[in-house]
Structure formats: C-alpha cells, structure tokens
C-alpha cells in the first residue's frame, strides 16, 4: 500500500489487525516461521470478510527456546515495540486495533497485554479507541480440544494449519519427536521446557532459567493425524471468531 492507499482506506474503516508471530523452533518438519504464517493467513482471511486493514506482521518476539534458528527478543522490548506500533496507528487515525498473536507463549501473551494496558493507561483517552489482544489458539474449539489432550507446539493443530496454507513448507518425512520422557513432560506442561536453576536457598534469589538441555527437536504435541482438511476446519473456526470480535469492536458491543 502507499500513503494514498492508507488515506483512502481510513475513510472506509479505522479497523486494523496487527499479526504477531515469531521465529522459533518447530521441530524438524515445520519451518521456524510457523507462527508468522498462522497470524498472517488468519488476518488476511478475516480482512476479506470485514474489509479491515492488515498491518505487516511483527516477526520478532520472545520464545524462551534456544534451538538453532530461534530468535528471542526480551518481553519488555517486545512490549515496548508493540506500544510504539500502537502509537503510530492511533496517530494515523486507526481506532479499532486487534493484535493477533500467532505465538501462544505465556511470556509473549503477558507482554502483549501489558503493551495494550500501559499504552492506554499512560496516554490521554482517545475517543472510540478499542484495543484487543487475541491469541489465535483461543479462537478454535478444535485447538482447545487438542490442547486439553496435551497437544501444543508443532503438534497436530499447527502441522494441520501449515498443511492447509503452506504445504510446500512442511517436511513430514523428517518429522521427529524428542525422547519419550521429554515428549511426555512437555505434553503435561508446555512450560516445562524451561528449568529454573538456583545456587542458594535464599527466597530472594532470582533463578537462572534455561531450556531443558534434553530438548533436541522442540515438538510439544503429536503431529500424527495432522491433515490439510483439519487445518481448513481450524482456520474456519478462527476466522469466524475473528469476524465476531471485529464486528463487536466496530459496534461497541464488547462484553
């Protein structure tokens, strides 16, 4: 888009989706950019239904993983970056801003919510401004069912989505899991990938947190049974939910 395109578009809608992804480990069968594709593809489809803008994606974020290819931006820096993006969008005239998180890490979600909270709290009120932070994993009943069964990162639902919109980037012939004990640990608790190391018994010590060195692949789930058809179903559920949220934002009907 050009300056003129945006100027003309703002006369039609002041709603925009900001897709947020990450570059991080997704096993041997999926690319590092999975979360970027998920956010962008869902945003694009929601835009086709609602006519809203879609911003270029935010590629960098906090993972906590450290396998090759993963790029970590500390949560405070990520949060400040989102605040600056919000500032630019509001100054241009956008009033309904949906931050769509393609990365579901707990630290990342907290940083995004902090950005939206502090941005609004520390600035004069802007009439009509609504900001939503939406993790895409919360939009689909199918994803929620998968997560309830211990399927998280690079497992069934993410593999299915990538088979749906980027099949050329999926390498199922290379698909692998970490050793059984590690795989089961991460299915029970996706945050168990991190180990907190303390050197004293003091309750005031801040521990050093590292990725479990036993992790070599980085899959937190089970990719068996993943299909493009399942990905299409999940995408449809997510887009339906996004459309509802956008309509609520524009109509002022948020609960």
Per-residue tens of pLDDT for the chain, all 255 residues: 999 999 999 999 999 999 999 999 999 999 999 999 999 999 999 999 999 999 999 999 999 999 999 999 999 999 999 999 999 999 999 999 999 999 989 999 999 999 999 999 999 999 999 999 999 999 999 999 999 998 989 999 999 999 999 999 999 999 999 998 998 888 888 888 889 999 999 999 999 999 999 999 989 889 999 999 999 999 999 999 999 999 999 998 554
- Find the helix or strand (DSSP H, E) in which 242 lies: helix 228-251
Q: What's the total number of domains in the chain?
A: 1
Contacts of 236 by beta carbon, 8 Å cutoff, 6+ apart = none
**Residue 239 contacts residue 49 (beta carbons within 8 Å):** yes
Q: What is the pTM of this model?
A: 0.94
User: 135 is in which domain, residue-wise?
Assistant: 3-251
Strand 208-211 relative to strand 194-197, pairing: antiparallel
List of long-range contacts for 110-114, beta carbons under 8 Å, 24+ apart: 110/75, 111/62, 111/75, 111/76, 111/78, 111/79, 111/82, 112/20, 112/78, 112/79, 112/82, 114/79
> SS in 3 state form for 34-102?
HHHHHHHHHHHHHHHHHCCEECCCECCECCCCCCCCCCECCHHHHHHHHHHHHHHHHHHCCCEEEEEEC
Instruction: Determine what percent of the chain falls in helix, strand and coil, rounding each to the nearest 5.
Output: 50, 10, 40
Contact 220, 156 (CB under 8 A): no
Whole-number Å distance between alpha carbons of 47 and 187 = 34
Task: Return the CATH number at 116.
Answer: 3.40.50.10310
Q: Which two tokens stand for residue 114?
A: 């902090």
Radius of gyration of the chain (CA): 19
Helix (H, G, I), strand (E, B) or coil at 112: helix
Residue 195 in tokens: 């180990």
């Amino acid at each position: 888009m050009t300056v003129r395109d945006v100027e003309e578009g703002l006369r039609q809608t002041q709603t925009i989706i900001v897709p947020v992804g990450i570059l991080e480990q997704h096993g041997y069968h999926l690319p590092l950019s999975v979360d970027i594709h998920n956010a962008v593809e869902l945003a694009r489809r929601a835009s086709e239904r609602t006519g809203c803008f879609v911003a270029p994606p935010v590629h960098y974020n906090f993972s906590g993983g450290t396998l090759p290819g993963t790029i970590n931006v500390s949560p405070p820096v990520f949060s400040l970056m989102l605040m600056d993006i919000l500032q630019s969008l509001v100054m241009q005239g956008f009033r309904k801003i949906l931050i769509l998180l393609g990365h579901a890490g707990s630290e990342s979600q907290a940083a995004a919510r902090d950005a939206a909270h502090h941005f609004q709290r520390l600035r004069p009120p802007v009439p009509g401004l609504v900001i939503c932070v939406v993790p895409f994993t919360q939009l689909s009943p199918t994803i929620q069912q998968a997560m309830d069964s211990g399927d998280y990162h690079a497992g069934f639902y993410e593999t299915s989505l990538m088979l749906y919109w980027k099949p050329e980037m999926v390498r199922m012939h290379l698909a692998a899991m970490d050793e059984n004990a590690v795989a089961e640990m991460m299915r029970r608790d996706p945050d168990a990938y991190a180990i907190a190391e303390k050197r004293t018994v003091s309750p005031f010590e801040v521990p050093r947190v590292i990725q479990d060195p036993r992790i070599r692949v980085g899959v937190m789930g089970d990719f068996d049974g993943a299909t493009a058809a399942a990905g299409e179903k999940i995408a449809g559920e997510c887009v339906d939910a996004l459309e509802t949220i956008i309509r609520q934002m524009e109509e002022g009907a948020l609960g």
